[in-house]
């Protein structure tokens, strides 16, 4: 039985929204069908020159499923948004290729096809999808036989909201890991600790966000927690104090094959090098923080 903490009945009852349905703005029908997505020119690399094709990890339970499209995940080695997509594809057992870009020196083919100049992108044949949450939902849509979202619309909305919450934590982490300013560091550290305490109240008995079933929320938080595997080796930021469920969830995600396989073995070294390049205050926090 799936111990889902946020079943519809457990959602906080809320007052009806101020607008009645009839007062909502009528909306035009969605303009783009899949076929109307902007087709893009293929990247300059041929298939064979694409960076290591990363097959989904073999230990992931789902057998490989051939799908009708060729998928290429345009990646950056440390990017947590890329990781969430890699995790979802692996959970689904969908084969995909990966190509890596250097975001400090973006190649022209990448800026041509990335409207925001950001990773990840998912190339689907000659089409490109950007924004990681949208990509995850697309992958969910094309493989409904192994759902990572609940069916109920309200429960789905709740999951999407916690995915967005995860992105807010990532914004705080981006500040924490790049700042050279102790006061900014403390502000970000405190913001993350507050969010984890809020998360603690949203979690059920685990092991995952929604009980036994791995979901899109888990795919978002695996990369969030991974940062702290490296940070913890430098300093105790204290953000995991008094949040036992979050700690158990973190431990469960760390063991999940799809989460493990979403980055290369050199991830810790790459992250440490990134912190050094940024002259991150986190690196000196170790000397000043109580052990």
Of 98, 118, 188, 256, which lies in the binding site for ligand GSH, with binding defined by CB under 6 A?
118
**Binding to ligand GSH, residues 31-50 (CB under 6 A):** none
Piece in contact with ligand GSH (CB under 6 A), picked from 67-75, 90-98, 111-119, 178-186: 111-119
**Residue 137 burial (CB count, 10 A):** 19
* 211 SS3 class: strand
- HSE-CB at 163 with a 13 A cutoff on CA atoms is 25
Question: Which DSSP symbol is given to 12?
Answer: P
Q: Is 131 in the site for ligand GSH (CB under 6 A)?
A: yes
- Comparing CB distances to ligand GSH, the nearer of 118 and 195 is 118
- Comparing CB distances to ligand GSH, the nearer of 86 and 252 is 86
Nearest 5°: CA angle at 2, between 195 and 245?
30
What gap in Å lies between CA 195 and CA 173, rounded to an integer?
A: 11
Q: Is 91 in the site for ligand GSH (CB under 6 A)?
A: no
The CB-of-78 to ligand GSH minimum distance in angstroms stands at: 7
From 79, 88, 101, 262, active-site residue:
79
Q: Is 196 in the site for ligand GSH (CB under 6 A)?
A: no
What gap in Å lies between CA 29 and CA 71, rounded to an integer?
A: 28
What gap in Å lies between CA 34 and CA 132, rounded to an integer?
A: 17
**Binding to ligand GSH, residues 44-83 (CB under 6 A):** 76, 79, 81
The CB-of-117 to ligand GSH minimum distance in angstroms stands at: 5
What gap in Å lies between CA 116 and CA 153, rounded to an integer?
A: 29
- Comparing CB distances to ligand GSH, the nearer of 110 and 209 is 110
Of residues 138, 137, 139, the one with CA closest to residue 160: 137
79 an active-site residue? Answer: yes
Question: Which DSSP symbol is given to 24?
Answer: S
Q: Is 132 in the site for ligand GSH (CB under 6 A)?
A: yes
Piece in contact with ligand GSH (CB under 6 A), picked from 125-133, 154-162, 207-215, 276-284: 125-133
- Comparing CB distances to ligand GSH, the nearer of 216 and 252 is 216
Q: Is 103 in the site for ligand GSH (CB under 6 A)?
A: yes
Q: Is the preceding omega at residue 7 within 30 degrees of 0, hence cis?
A: no
Exposed (0-12), middle (13-18) or buried (19+): which is 13, by Cβ within 10 Å?
Answer: exposed
Active site residues: 79
Q: Which residues bind ligand GSH (CB under 6 A)?
A: 76, 79, 81, 103, 117-120, 131-133
């Amino acid at each position: 039985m799936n111990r889902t903490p946020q079943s519809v009945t457990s959602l906080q009852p809320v007052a009806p929204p101020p607008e009645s349905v009839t007062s909502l703005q009528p909306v035009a029908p969605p303009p783009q069908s899949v076929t109307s997505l902007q087709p893009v020119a293929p990247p300059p690399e041929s298939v064979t020159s694409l960076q290591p094709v990363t097959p989904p990890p073999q230990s992931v339970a789902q057998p490989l499923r051939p799908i009708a499209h060729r998928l290429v995940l345009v990646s950056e080695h440390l990017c947590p948004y890329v990781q969430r997509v890699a995790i979802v594809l692996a959970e689904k057992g969908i084969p995909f290729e990966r190509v890596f870009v250097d975001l400090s020196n973006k190649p022209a083919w990448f800026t041509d096809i990335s409207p925001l100049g950001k990773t990840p992108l998912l190339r689907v044949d000659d089409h490109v999808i950007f924004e990681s949450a949208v990509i995850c939902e697309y992958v969910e849509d094309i493989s409904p036989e192994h759902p990572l979202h609940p069916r109920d619309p309200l429960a789905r909305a709740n999951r999407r909201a916690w995915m967005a919450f995860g992105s807010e934590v990532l914004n705080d982490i981006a500040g924490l890991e790049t700042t050279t300013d102790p006061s900014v560091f403390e502000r970000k550290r405190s913001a993350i600790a507050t969010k984890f305490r809020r998360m603690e109240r949203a979690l059920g008995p685990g092991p995952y966000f929604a009980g036994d079933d791995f979901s899109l929320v888990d795919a978002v938080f695996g990369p969030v927690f991974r940062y702290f595997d490296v940070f913890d080796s430098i300093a105790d930021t204290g953000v995991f104090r008094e949040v036992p469920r979050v700690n158990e969830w973190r431990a469960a995600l760390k063991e999940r094959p799809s989460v493990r396989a979403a980055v290369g073995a050199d991830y810790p070294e790459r992250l440490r090098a990134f912190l050094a390049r940024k002259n991150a205050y986190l690196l000196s926090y170790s000397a000043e923080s109580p052990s």
